[in-house]
Amino acid sequence: MITVENLSKSFPGNGSPVLALRDVNVDVDAGALYGVVGPAGSGKSTLARCVALQERPDRGTVRLDGLNTATLDGRRLREIRRQVGVVDAKSELHAERTIAGNIAAPLEQLGLDGPQRKSRVGAMLDLVGLTQRAAQRPSELTPGQRRRVAVARALAAGPAVLLADDPTAGIGHEETGAVLTVLDRARAELGVTLLVTTPDAGVVRRVCDDVAVLEEGSLVEQGKVLDLVTDPASRTAQALLPAIETSRAQSARYDRAVDVVLIGFATVGALLPEAAGRFDVELATIGGGLTRVGDTPVARFRVGVRGQQADAALAWIAERGGHVTHTARGPQGVAA
């Protein structure tokens, strides 16, 4: 759906140019909710603007549904740009118009007539949960509600792709969930492909299926979020999984300690007790905890292990989808 190949972009800086993107490759499947995460200045907005065809890269290509966008001229370029809705920091609402009027604006530009326009605006208001606010002005809404209106407006003309550049920026914690729900609904109910940039790993944890991690313009990690969390060395695992805090004294009571990542309802709840019973070993949770990635429960536990059949029990856990990592051992052969 969206293919970014060897994309590089620099800007003139003080003295030497700023390399905003360095040879970035990203593949976004149709219907995905794809996150691009990274700290301030890592190139997220530059990448989003290149994909939205608002910015020309120095090198590399952006393909939309296989179409090389670099070859497009004026009229074709405008047509393709309409396939890509954008919500970013510059998406100001029209203060004088009602909420419904704001959402209708892009449809007026397309020349969509009365009843059709009305029905589309109604559907968008429903999608973002603001039907009751249709006749109000933007100033009467909270920042989070205004952001939802901006999303509705970007989706009104029926784009195939929505680019949301840091959609939760400037929105209070309590309103973040509602904005993310709207993005998730756009994917589920309209089949839109979403590319969402964010500095917040929590946004990735809550709604993204796939993630690309940017650092100083370079892509350092990319993949399915649920795959990446099983690799303790990945940045995604480090950012999303519960921290493990155990004292040496806790670990010392066991023969050794291992870290186990478990994914899914059945696995999280049942795998460790079942293994303990089956192999008659002690498997005690001495650190870590439970979180959710999207709707999926994910646990990372540090587990103290004792018993003769410990290796068999751990192998059995791994065979059933648990991801077992052996922690470093201290000088006494005790997990550090």
Ligand X SMILES: Nc1ncnc2c1ncn2[C@@H]1O[C@H](COP(=O)(O)OP(=O)(O)OP(=O)(O)O)[C@@H](O)[C@H]1O
What residue ranges bind Mg ion (CB under 5 A)?
Answer: 44-45
In this structure, the number of other CB atoms found within 10 A of the CB of residue 243 comes to 9
Structure tokens of 309? 């059949």
Of 35, 38, 106, 322, the one binding ligand X (CB under 6 A) is 38
- Contacted entry of Mg ion, ligand X, none for residue 18, CB cut-off 5 to 8 Å set by kind: ligand X
69 near ligand X (CB under 6 A): no
In this structure, the number of other CB atoms found within 10 A of the CB of residue 291 comes to 15
42 near ligand X (CB under 6 A): yes
- Contacted entry of Mg ion, ligand X, none for residue 205, CB cut-off 5 to 8 Å set by kind: none
Instruction: Compare residues 60 and 122 and give the one whose CB is closer to ligand X.
Output: 60
Non-local CB neighbours of 109 within 8 Å, separated by 6+ positions: none
In this structure, the number of other CB atoms found within 10 A of the CB of residue 282 comes to 15
- In angstroms, the CA 186 to CA 175 distance is 17
Of 7, 26, 43, 327, the one binding ligand X (CB under 6 A) is 43
- What is the rounded end-to-end Cα distance, in angstroms, of the chain? 46
Q: Which stretch binds ligand X (CB under 6 A): 41-49, 137-145, 188-196, 249-257?
A: 41-49
In this structure, the number of other CB atoms found within 10 A of the CB of residue 276 comes to 18
Exposed, middle or buried: residue 239 (CB in 10 Å: 0-12, 13-18, 19+)?
middle
* Interface of this chain with ligand X, residues 162 to 221, rule: CB under 6 A: 166, 199
Instruction: Compare residues 45 and 91 and give the one whose CB is closer to Mg ion.
Output: 45
Is residue 199 within 8 Å of residue 177, measured between CB atoms? no
46 near ligand X (CB under 6 A): yes
Length of the chain: 336
* Interface of this chain with ligand X, residues 137 to 166, rule: CB under 6 A: 166
Strands (DSSP E) along 65-177, which ranges?
A: 67-68, 84-87, 161-165
40 near ligand X (CB under 6 A): yes
Instruction: Compare residues 9 and 120 and give the one whose CB is closer to ligand X.
Output: 9
Instruction: Compare residues 43 and 304 and give the one whose CB is closer to ligand X.
Output: 43
Instruction: Compare residues 12 and 66 and give the one whose CB is closer to ligand X.
Output: 12
Using CB under 6 A, list all residues that contact ligand X. 11, 18, 20, 38, 40-46, 166, 199
